[in-house]
Structure 1
Amino acid sequence: KGFTKEHGLTEYWSHRITYCASPPHYLKLFCWVYRHEGKKLKHELRCHAVLCTKETVSKKITEELQVKLKQLVEFKKDRISKQ
């Protein structure tokens, strides 16, 4: 979930996150690429970023999210192979 003054509360679903990272040159920055549904249900990829209060926060978010995304990919592969 994310909150901005412009859009208010926004929820981001893990199955739509295609990439996430904490760039080494900007240690407090956490970035992710999200697959949005645009007009006429066309998919579009958008880059999002958050400036964290500490380097450890951005690193922790990145590590935990990458683990969850790997688990999601494994779950999808397992589910498809059982069909």
Structure 2
Amino acid sequence: MKKITQTLIACGILLGVGGNAIAVAQSPHPHTAAREQFRYIEQPLPLKVGLTLGGLGLIGLELWWFLGNSSPSQTTDNENPNTD
């Protein structure tokens, strides 16, 4: 489980903060679309880090819920003690 967590953190850091990725949004005005199809929106680093950590936290929670939460299953007894 520790190895999976370390791998997810490394991937999140590489994808979220690594490189100089810039978010791209469509231009709101159709007449400027011919000249400039997309405009760049620079996102602050704390926002990128926060979103990356939040996403990794949700992925970790999902992995824990489905893979790590191994409580023993309860078996039911089909016999009814109130039979006459």
Q: Shorter-chain TM-score: what band?
A: 0.3 to 0.5
Q: TM-score, normalised by structure 1?
A: 0.38
Q: Which has the higher strand share?
A: 1
Higher relative contact order (CA 8 A, sep 6+): 2
Q: Which has the larger radius of gyration?
A: 2
Q: TM-score, normalised by structure 2?
A: 0.38
Q: Which has the higher helix share?
A: 2
